[in-house]
Structure 1
Amino acid sequence: MRESAAERHDRLLGLVRERGSARVSDLASQLGVSPVTVRRDVEELAGRGLLDRVHGSVSWPQDAASPAAGPGGSGSGLVLGMLAPSSTYYFSEVIRGAHEAAAGAGARLILRISDYRPQEDQARTEGLLSAGAEGLLIAPGWQHPGDPAAFGDWIASLPVPTVLLERRPTTGSPLDGLDRVCSDHAHGVLLAVRHLVDLGHGAPLLMARADSPTALAVRSGYAEALAVLGLHAPQDVIESVPAELAPHTFDQAVRALREAVHSGVATAALIHNDVDAIQVVQRLAELGVRVPDDLALIAYDDEVAALADTPLTAVAPPKRDVGRHATELLVERLGQSGGAPRRHLMLLPQLRVRDSCGAPLS
């Protein structure tokens, strides 16, 4: 199976984090890709503030925690640990917000990546504690509905204050009593559906993955939005998968969307996520369906939606603010003597309107 760019980015960051610094040529050899690919990756990661570039080499940011810096090393104030499922795409902004808030509080942030392997979350978190973390920001690598029950109970018994990021455990579970900061994806989906309806469309189709908590939240939010607006889904959700991992299945999903447009079932669609939406638009054009002329479209995530040939209207979860508010909450919690009420903070996404919705129907 071909490695995705996100997976390669995580491996690259892991190598630099372990060494502190590395030459681009050495990274290319370690990753098994060309130096041109590594330079492109480094440019993207440096642009996100995750790496520093110096004369053909890259290094871990000086104000971020390095493996060699133990609890008594440089930046000897508060040490915060963060577990994230990825350091790219959606979570790069969450990490950036956490990093900025930690720096603003005079704290160091130690980052570990689970690569969406929830069975490894506990061991990686124990590594953060061993490195001196006095409080934890945890975004488990859950992907499927059963993952919280199978891989989550240990989080409730951690020995230091803990804040969950972008994860909503089952109501009444031990994890439900922890502090958490999340995007309100149901609100984001409602913004998208209402916008399309206000443009004169009927209920939009949903084309979505089912491989992450965000994807599952978008799906449940879609059903809630239709109920709130008194609408009925024009047909079942179109199941999507990453095009690079299953091109035939992805193409089948696009063809199902094309058929819905040609048959008049729907004139609008919401697609999770941005990358899928961009590829859907490209493939639809090859199949004779134009966006926005034949199909009004909104993407969910707003990571790269604005870069499409036809800039995509997109729901933008407040990713950076999630990281910032969670870190501020954790720092506040660490400064308290105990007994303060736990908090569940829900941040509202925004709808960023671009070209892919078109004009109102006549």
Structure 2
Amino acid sequence: MRASAAQRHDRLLDLVREHGTVRLSDLAERLTVSAVTVRRDVEALAEQGLLDRAHGSVSWPERHALPQQPPDGGGLVLGMLAPSATYYFAEVIRGASEAAARAGARLVLRISDYRPAEDRARTEGLLEAGAQGLLIAPGWRGPDDPAEHGGWITELPVPAVLLERRPAPGSALEELDRVSSDHRHGVLLAVRHLVGLGHGTPLLVARADSPTALAVRSGYGEALGALGLRAPAPVIDSVPAEQDPEGFEAAAQALRAAVESGKATAALVHNDVDAIQMVQRLAELGLRVPQDLALIAYDDEVAALAGTPLTAVAPPKRHVGRHATELLIERLTGGAAQSADEPRRHVTLLPRLNVRASCGAGDGNPSA
């Protein structure tokens, strides 16, 4: 089966991270794609600040370097399952790696590529590699995935902490330690900020292909209820432009129609990449940000790099990785009796709103 662009980008970044500097011709050979495809992928990733380009080669940015891990045989071994090593989860992994290094522990990483059916096998690989405790961010996408692909997590033979995942109330997974961002609060920050600037109720343009996307959608309804607002129109379904150009165009046209009809003057868009591409497409359709539409992105990975820097909700990704690792290490080093008596913890960290130019409020200091 041919890998998607997102999967190919993850593999490309893994190769560069592993080797430091890689020739483009070697990348094309390893990824079994054409030189043109590799150059296009590298250009896209370099624009996001994830790689440094040189003539004929590409390097891992020094600013993204992870802390030096202790050598094999020393300290605890922690396993980490993540759905991706790029975009959102790159910062989560970085926070976990930093916390592990400070504790003298070794972090071993496995990537599931958002294939929840493979999570269990990847985790078994971590256990075979000697992991004494696990940090688990399952590759769930839809609302049914936790029930279908999550039961095995409660049967693990070592302590585990869920990352950026909030199981359904009453499920067995609720008994696990977890650390996650409060995306509902993040959406509330965005809606309240736009309304405070004098806009009517903002529209939501969002994906539905990840736990974060689903939390943003549910948080939108809760935010409107908390602020006594009513949605000006249904949520606009967004999709990645490169995977579904027609679906993305439909979302852009729906947002354009809402603005031109006077139904909305503001919008929250999940995620950053979609928001940047949406602004570009709206400009082609004659709508300007922020003059015609105030816009806030969700994730704050690359929002500041847009032509008009985007105000964005920034989940505390790095802190999620750090707090989860510290919690896991505490479980592993606190003693059997203490671990048995200690109640499980659900740690929820609040996002912040980084205000820039796209909502018409200038590019002042971040606000929370």
TM-score with structure 2 length normalisation? 0.87
Q: Which residue number in structure 1 is paired with residue 173 of structure 2?
A: 175
CA distance in 2, matches of 1:294, 1:234: 16
Residues 128 and 201 (structure 1 numbering): CA distance in 2 closer, same or farther, change over 3 Å?
same
Residues 159 and 47 (structure 1 numbering): CA distance in 2 closer, same or farther, change over 3 Å?
same
Contact 1:63 / 1:108 at 8 angstroms: preserved in 2? no
Aligned with residue 163 of structure 2, among 165, 170, 178: 165
CA distance in 2, matches of 1:99, 1:180: 17
Aligned-residue offset at 1:145: 0.3
Q: Where does structure 2 lack aligned partners over 5 or more consecutive residues?
A: 363-368
Q: Which residue number in structure 2 is paired with residue 30 of structure 1?
A: 30
Aligned-residue offset at 1:42: 8.6
2:346 maps to amino acid: H
Aligned-residue offset at 1:15: 5.0
Contact 2:16 / 2:22 at 8 angstroms: preserved in 1? no
Residues 276 and 36 (structure 1 numbering): CA distance in 2 closer, same or farther, change over 3 Å?
closer
Identity of aligned residues (%): 69
1:340 maps to amino acid: E
Q: Cα deviations across residues 201-221 of structure 1 (Å, max 9, x unaligned)?
A: 111000000000000000000
Contact 2:92 / 2:318 at 8 angstroms: preserved in 1? yes
Which runs of structure 2 are paired with 1:253-268 in the superposition (5 Å)? 253-268=251-266
Aligned-residue offset at 1:169: 0.4
Residues 291 and 204 (structure 1 numbering): CA distance in 2 closer, same or farther, change over 3 Å?
same
Q: Which residue number in structure 2 is paired with residue 212 of structure 1?
A: 210
Q: Cα deviations across residues 169-217 of structure 1 (Å, max 9, x unaligned)?
A: 0111111010000000000000000000100111100000000000000
CA distance in 2, matches of 1:352, 1:273: 14
1:298 maps to amino acid: I
Q: Is 1:320 matched up with 2:324?
A: no
Q: Which residue number in structure 2 is paired with residue 69 of structure 1?
A: none
Aligned-residue offset at 1:142: 0.2
Aligned-residue offset at 1:44: 8.4
Contact 1:298 / 1:312 at 8 angstroms: preserved in 2? yes
Aligned-residue offset at 1:27: 2.5
Residues 58 and 130 (structure 1 numbering): CA distance in 2 closer, same or farther, change over 3 Å?
farther
Q: Which residue number in structure 2 is paired with residue 224 of structure 1?
A: 222
Q: Which residue number in structure 1 is paired with residue 68 of structure 2?
A: 63
Contact 1:75 / 1:107 at 8 angstroms: preserved in 2? no
Q: Which residue number in structure 1 is paired with residue 287 of structure 2?
A: 289
Q: Which residue number in structure 2 is paired with residue 150 of structure 1?
A: 148
SS at match of 1:342: coil
Aligned with residue 355 of structure 1, among 354, 357, 360: 357
Residues 113 and 131 (structure 1 numbering): CA distance in 2 closer, same or farther, change over 3 Å?
same
CA distance in 2, matches of 1:121, 1:2: 20
1:63 maps to amino acid: Q
Q: Which residue number in structure 1 is paired with residue 272 of structure 2?
A: 274
Aligned-residue offset at 1:230: 0.3
CA distance in 1, matches of 2:49, 2:201: 41
Q: Is 1:87 matched up with 2:89?
A: no
Contact 1:80 / 1:133 at 8 angstroms: preserved in 2? yes
TM-score with structure 1 length normalisation? 0.89
2:268 maps to amino acid: L
CA distance in 2, matches of 1:134, 1:44: 38
**Cα root mean square deviation, aligned:** 2.8
SS at match of 1:92: helix
Aligned-residue offset at 1:57: 8.8
Q: Is 1:140 matched up with 2:138?
A: yes
Which runs of structure 2 are paired with 1:66-145 in the superposition (5 Å)? 74=72, 76-145=74-143
Q: Is 1:7 matched up with 2:4?
A: no
1:94 maps to amino acid: V
Residues 120 and 308 (structure 1 numbering): CA distance in 2 closer, same or farther, change over 3 Å?
same
Contact 1:166 / 1:322 at 8 angstroms: preserved in 2? yes
